Structure 1
Amino acid sequence: MTTTVSHSDGGLSRGLLLLMSVATGLAVAGNYFAQPLLDLIGREMGIGPSSAALLVTAAQAGYALGLILLVPLGDLLERRRLAVSLYAVTAVFLLVSATASNGTVLLVSTALTALTSVGAQVVVPFAATLAAPAERGRVVGTVMTGLMLGLLLARTASGALSELGGWRTVYWVAAVLMALMAVLLRIFLPRLGGDGGGRSYLGLLRSTVAMFRYEPLLRWRAGIAALSLASFSVLWTALTLLLAGSPYGWSESAIGLFGLVGAVGALTATVAGRLADRGYVQAVTGAGTVLLVASWTAITAGASTLVWLLVGVIVLDLAHQAVLNSSQNVLYALRPEARNRINSAFMTCLFVGGAVGSALAAVVWVHSGWTGVCVLGATFSAGTVVLWVLERVTVGRTAGKPAKTSVQQGHDATPATSAN
């Protein structure tokens, strides 16, 4: 029988926290490796640009399905086994991509890789469960830093590896690293039993959807995070177009290195987590939403001035991390026995927001250029402020307290009413 690990005393070791952080970043990175390689892949496979671009769509669709269909299993199955299995299968699908003989095989393997790469979203609530309650914000912030670094640096790493040995090298290296990560997680993660409350798989999925009905904080926080990632995606979708054109005229390799700038903001996630642990979770969210709006002033000026662009990108990434981390801190305190289902619901909304932001940014760029992009991004950012204020008014000022009260006292579950 699976033993559930007690985490009320010891917390999470630094070594294991680092491993889980790297694991999440590596899993997420696999969904972005193809983006700077579309031209190379298209030429070798003999497919047109529009067909090659379907790889990005396949990754998005596969990841969305994984969030909905696989992540909730963490509340039903033994979590170490689930995480290790997903990482191992992802490594296999990456190998298929590395050896793909035609575009169809690559398209299918890309979608399947994205589907199982949601193992990262099993690891995040796993870390939250293992963490001592007083340090949960810091732990989640650290793991999410790894995830965001994987997202931001994937393009840079992909471009560098492809120059060394072609685009297939990227997938070979990623497959080996994912296989290694599966082994390390198998060795070092403790066994942790899920508790689906006797539900079937379909019952588990219905329960995930029902979380929106019974947890008002989930509705508010999912909306806030979705708009935040929409703003984030607007910037990073249009940024390549800006830097490639006048007045910058940067090369593809130089544009890829710009991801390092975003990494500076991602590294601040642990700061937001520490503040949340000290009881300032609502202040962190509020400050994050305001900074999101303010960042677009600098980003707008960045149309012709690199310094302002750098400032705006760093502030926006910092603000997005603050909003995301504080929201997770609030939500993971609601129902510890349902963290994977809550994470599934939350991350699905987050993902939809990012996809909408990317799609609209591309359309707005064509019709209104950088100015239109900045108006769009600022509008999404302003929406986060509005939703946060409405949450404070309708839910009440005690929404962030479970992280320091009922959960720290060792309660197994926080009813929706007490979380309000």
Structure 2
Amino acid sequence: MGRGTRLLLAVVCGVAVAAVYAGQPVLAEMGHDLDVPREAVGWFVAVGQLGYLAGLVLLVPLGDMLDRRRLIAAHLGLVAAGLAVTAAAPVAWVAFGGLAVAGVFAVVVQTAVAYTASIARPDRRGRDLGVVTSGVVAGILGARVITGGLADLWGWRGGYFALAALAAALGVLSLIALPADVRSGTERYGQVIRSLGSLFTQPTFLSRGLIAFFLFASFGTLWSGMALPLAGEPWHLSPAQIGLFGIAGLAGALGAARSGRWGDAGHAGRVTGLALVLLLGSWLAIGQLSSSLPLLILGVIVLDFAVQAVHVGNQHILTTTYADRTSSTIGGYMVFYSLGSALGATATTTLFDAAGWTGSTLLGAAFALCALATWALANRSRASVLSGLRNGERGGPVSAPQCDFLGRRP
């Protein structure tokens, strides 16, 4: 897998995911322009997440049947259409419709990740996934900088128009530059969907999915709620200034890009535990938002480092364990991501009105604690299973899992 291919796929991921998160730094402006009350502006992010959820179930499994290159190009074109509708929306329901369409087809991210896992060398899969998925976090956080800056120049609509043009251009480039990835075409759509459903009974898949649910609920609590207190007392920051906090988050996320190498070395599970401890600790600094911006920046860097490290480790383990159905596996895993992000986005804006930033901080920390507890319980359960497997070697053959919770083959 060449450097140019990795870079193109990372940019595709970044732009597609930015389509879902671009509204975060301009929620107040969108609500005012489209007559949406402040307690409901979180839905500008959540509706895209819910569309994303539908796309994960209905569209991502197509990657196990069809040429992923063509899917990437087609989905980017439809993302561009949804963003253009949002940018031109005269009323709220049109904007929500455009955001839902962009969210549904933003699952091109998962098709790109599955494409990466399928063409990467096994001993470099984690490294390549780390580079490509760094584009996801770069898109989430970079969107804040772009849309926040453009909002000061052209209003919130300018950022959406820019993203629409970029998504359309990437669709054409992907069709030209990426090598074909033809599927066998022997599986039917119903079979692929049923295969996706069966994953939810697998312990490794379920535990990694639950960790992702709480992980991204904590992530969404910060990034969907932070604009509200920063725009008010005592800081009164503009959308462009609020968007600059995305640079701090980007620094943390890119710092974790090498976490894929840790996965290649068999340490994905241990890194997950350590990163979740850091995630929980980051809320101690984030909670000081009302009195200290430097502490907030520190907390943002640590939180995004932790989120990226866990996310890459999760995907490395899952694509190794279920290598014969990477698209369905990544799509199913990201259902947890989407639900968690939507929960964080809606809960933090609602709770902020009732309990201020203290309430949002406690919520984000609670989600982080749940993720850590899930990892600890699953790790303990996996240790018991592996102990039973070792004992079984003395009493007869026992079927071993393809990949243990630490990301190692037994």
Is the 1:289–1:385 Cα contact (8 Å) retained in structure 2?
A: yes
What does residue 205 of structure 1 align with?
193
Alpha-carbon distance, 1:328 to partner: 0.9
Distance 2:261 2:326 in 1: 20
What does residue 21 of structure 1 align with?
10
| Residues 1:274 and 1:131: Cα distance change in structure 2 (over 3 Å) | same
Residue-by-residue CA offset, 1:110-144 (whole Å, 9 max, x unaligned): 21121111111100111121211111111111111
Gap regions ≥5 residues in structure 2: 387-398, 405-410
Distance 2:294 2:153 in 1: 31
What does residue 391 of structure 1 align with?
378
Q: 5 Å matches for 1:11-410?
A: 12-38=1-27, 40-41=29-30, 47-49=35-37, 54-195=43-184, 198-213=186-201, 215-396=202-383
Is the 1:303–1:309 Cα contact (8 Å) retained in structure 2?
A: no
Distance 1:347 1:30 in 2: 16
Alpha-carbon distance, 1:69 to partner: 0.8
Distance 2:46 2:361 in 1: 24
SS in 1 for 2:226: helix
| Residues 1:110 and 1:218: Cα distance change in structure 2 (over 3 Å) | same
Is the 2:150–2:240 Cα contact (8 Å) retained in structure 1?
A: no
Is the 2:63–2:71 Cα contact (8 Å) retained in structure 1?
A: yes
Distance 2:95 2:358 in 1: 36
Distance 2:376 2:176 in 1: 45
Residue-by-residue CA offset, 1:193-219 (whole Å, 9 max, x unaligned): 3357x4422232121011111x21000
What's the % identity of the aligned pairs? Answer: 37
Residue-by-residue CA offset, 1:269-321 (whole Å, 9 max, x unaligned): 32211221222212211111111122222223444122222211111111111
Indicate the RMSD between aligned Cα atoms, in angstroms.
Answer: 2.4
Q: TM-score, normalised by structure 1?
A: 0.86
Distance 1:97 1:208 in 2: 31
Alpha-carbon distance, 1:253 to partner: 2.2
Residue-by-residue CA offset, 1:158-192 (whole Å, 9 max, x unaligned): 13223333444333322221121112111221111
169-178 vs 268-277, greater mean Cα deviation: 169-178
Is the 1:334–1:416 Cα contact (8 Å) retained in structure 2?
A: no
Q: TM-score, normalised by structure 2?
A: 0.88
SS in 1 for 2:257: helix
What does residue 5 of structure 1 align with?
none
Number of residue pairs matched by the alignment: 391
Distance 1:186 1:170 in 2: 25
Q: Please tell me the residue identity of whatever aligns with 1:97.
A: T
Is the 2:24–2:223 Cα contact (8 Å) retained in structure 1?
A: no
Gap regions ≥5 residues in structure 1: 1-11, 400-414
Residue-by-residue CA offset, 1:38-93 (whole Å, 9 max, x unaligned): 55556666x44468765434322211111111011111111111111111222233
| Residues 1:221 and 1:244: Cα distance change in structure 2 (over 3 Å) | same
Distance 2:11 2:293 in 1: 31
Is the 1:66–1:116 Cα contact (8 Å) retained in structure 2?
A: yes
SS in 1 for 2:287: helix
| Residues 1:245 and 1:103: Cα distance change in structure 2 (over 3 Å) | closer
Q: Please tell me the residue identity of whatever aligns with 1:34.
A: G
| Residues 1:217 and 1:195: Cα distance change in structure 2 (over 3 Å) | farther
| Residues 1:393 and 1:307: Cα distance change in structure 2 (over 3 Å) | same
242-251 vs 271-280, greater mean Cα deviation: 242-251
| Residues 1:29 and 1:133: Cα distance change in structure 2 (over 3 Å) | same
Distance 1:163 1:301 in 2: 27
76-85 vs 234-243, greater mean Cα deviation: 234-243
| Residues 1:182 and 1:72: Cα distance change in structure 2 (over 3 Å) | same
What does residue 401 of structure 2 align with?
417
Q: Please tell me the residue identity of whatever aligns with 2:402.
A: S
Distance 1:199 1:266 in 2: 37
